[in-house]
Amino acid sequence: DTGVSQDPRHKITKRGQNVTFRCDPISEHNRLYWYRQTLGQGPEFLTYFQNEAQLEKSRLLSDRFSAERPKGSFSTLEIQRTEQGDSAMYLCASASGQATGELFFGEGSRLTVL
Amino acid sequence: GQNIDQPTEMTATEGAIVQINCTYQTSGFNGLFWYQQHAGEAPTFLSYNVLDGLEEKGRFSSFLSRSKGYSYLLLKELQMKDSASYLCAVLNTGGFKTIFGAGTRLFVKA
């Protein structure tokens, strides 16, 4: 399967713990996005990478959230000191270099903070 | 600011036609997407419009009016499998950022 893959698919953690999600995009895609989605809502933009450069980060994102894409391939999203409000589906998407390229989403990582 | 509005829910009958509307106000515009998302699954691409007019793709068509900040997705010959959320999304200029609406949940009944 050459689609976008995310790991883990599900994560249950206690409030205050740190969690990390990984995303492997489609290999030839140089653009990578992280979104967060809660029930009944559309995906909310978190951050965007072009190759290894993080070009935009949502102003809604607190300092507890950090994302990296060290070699321009896979990416990680870390949430420090998790809060119950962080419970959501974290979606990764990749796209080709075309400015109008569609997003290809992974299956998501569902986070539950107890 | 950025605002994308679409109805929360719609219900239609199998075999019928349904139109899902979307209005948007964004700081920049480089095209509009429609995505389909089945419950518990990732969104998948349906259509992209950057110029005014209608784009047809099989049972699905999408329309855009840039001057009105308006789009619609038209689904013909509805099937039960079309029950899903339909997400309207706008691509901003410059930053390659796609902003999504809250989605419209479509229920197709027999």
> pLDDT tens digits, residue range A25-81?
999 899 999 999 999 999 999 999 999 999 888 987 789 999 999 988 999 999 999
HSE value, Cβ hemisphere, 13 Å, CA-based, for B62: 23
Q: Which residue of A has its CA nearest to B88?
A: A42
- Contact at 8 Å (CB) between A25 and A32? yes
Tell me how many residue pairs between chain A and chain B have CB atoms under 8 A apart. 57
pLDDT at B84 over 70: yes
Point out the residue among B31, B43, B48 whose CB comes nearest to the CB of A43. Answer: B43
In chain A, what percentage of residues exceed pLDDT 90? 81
Contacts of B18 (CB under 8 A, 6+ apart): B10, B12, B74, B75, B78, B106
What ranges make up the beta strands (E) of B26-93? 32-37, 44-49, 53-57, 60-65, 70-75, 84-91
**Which chain A residues have a beta carbon less than 8 Å from that of B45?**
102-104
**pLDDT at residue B26 in the model:** 84
Rounded to a whole number of angstroms, the distance from the CA of A20 to the nearest CA of chain B is 20
A46 closest CA partner among A99, A114, A111, A2 = A111
Q: In terms of CA atoms, which chain B residue is nearest residue A30? A: B96
CB A20 within 8 A of CB A82: no
- pLDDT tens-place string over residues B7-65: 999 999 999 999 999 999 988 888 999 999 999 999 999 999 999 999 999 999 999 99
What is the Cα–Cα distance from B61 to A50, expressed in whole angstroms? 31
For residue B34, the distance in angstroms to the closest alpha carbon of chain A comes to 10
Q: Does residue B40 sit at the A interface (CB-CB below 8 Å)?
A: no
Nearest to A92 by CA among A71, A112, A69: A69
Q: What is the mean pLDDT of chain A?
A: 93
Pick the residue of A45, A54, A92, A96 with the most B CBs within 10 A to test the interface with B by mutation.
A45
CB within 8 Å of A1: residues ≥ 6 apart: none
pLDDT (0 to 100) of residue A101: 76
Rounded CA-CA distance A99/B8 in Å is 29
Question: Chain B residue closest to A110 (CA)?
Answer: B40
**Residue for token pair 């099989």:** B58
Q: Which of residues 79-108 of B touch A (CB under 8 A)?
A: 87, 89, 91, 95-103
